[in-house]
Structure 1
Amino acid sequence: MQASMVLIFLCFIPFYANAGVYKWVDANGQTHFGDRPPAKAASSEVAVKAAPASVDAVARERHLKMTEFLEQLQEERKARQAADTQVEERAAKRAEVCRKLQARLKFLASVSTFYNLNDQGERVFVNEAENARIRADFRQKVKRTCGNE
């Protein structure tokens, strides 16, 4: 039902679009124009010719410059978005590295002493001074990488 109403409406659009322009003179001698003829005055239909759409060279040049400008803005926006994406990716990687370093630092605090393996694969425990140096070096690494301990 709605489709048929729309179809009927679309059929009448050309008649409405081509509605005439009427000209009449009132009792005071003033000339009037309208899209409907007046009820109490004699009128005549006026043929109105639409001016052809012409684009001059200046308008064409302005349009071309505007298009180039918009394309340049779009390219700059894409470049900024790519740079922002890279910054975000680097920040995410750094945050992940820092998270792992913080976890390792916490683990190192729970270890009582460290050892090295010798050529035979046996554990050789380090002294307290070496333990303190290993912890301090690792804290410095975390501080350099993450900016805090």
Structure 2
Amino acid sequence: MNVLLRAVVISAIFSHSLYAGVYKWTDEHGRVHFSDRPVSESSTEVKIKQTPSSGSTGDSPQQRQQKMRKMLDAFEEERSEKKEAKQKAKQEREKRKKKCIYAKDRYNSHNRARGIYNYKKDGDRSYLSEAERKSHMQRLKADVDRWCK
């Protein structure tokens, strides 16, 4: 809701209601009708009792202003929370994008490699068997699927 619309709603809530006249008349078929302007000479003005809205009975201008300030503060807090959530979502998307690129690069480079190996404690290479390589590639593919949704 934009600021202007909120201001209109708030002013409507806290302002005194202005009622136009309400007129009642009966047509030739005996049906009763109501309107905001007299239709004929037989139209009679109906007096409507104004019931005070909840919370505004006897409120002083200062009390109404305090209520309006609280409402505006709540709107500001809500906007701030939405902005923060949007920023977090953007950061999460950027993080996922980076991890997706990394996962794809790793999968593609390991897929093209002739042999995949790990280093032993003594520094020598230990090449993966075909079954180990297949399992390793499945894990890399799962990473791609996880980050690149």
State the TM-score, normalized to the length of structure 2. 0.54
Secondary structure at the counterpart of residue 136 of structure 1:
helix
Aligned AA for 1:96? Answer: K
| Structure 2: tracts of 5 or more residues without a match | 1-57
Contact 2:110 2:116 survives alignment (8 Å): no
**Which stretches of structure 1, 4 residues or more, deviate above 4 A after TM superposition?**
none
Task: Specify the alignment match of 2:62 in structure 1.
Answer: 60
Over the matched positions of the two proteins, sequence identity in percent amounts to 24
Q: Which amino acid aligns with 1:131?
A: R
State the alpha-carbon separation in 2 of the partners of residues 75 and 105 from structure 1.
Answer: 44
Which residue of structure 1 lines up, in the alignment, with residue 81 of structure 2? 79
Query: Which structure has the higher relative contact order (CA within 8 Å, separation 6+)?
Result: 2
Q: Aligned partners of 2:132, 2:148: CA distance in 1, in Å? A: 24
Give the aligned partner of residue 139 of structure 2. 137
Match of 2:96 among 94, 107, 123: 94
**Which residue does the alignment assign to 1:109?**
111
Name whichever structure is richer in helix by fraction: 1
CA RMSD of aligned residues (A): 2.0
How many residues are treated as equivalent by the alignment? 92
| Larger Rg belongs to | 1
Match of 2:125, as an amino acid? R
Matched residue of 2:123: which SS? coil
Equivalence for 1:13: none
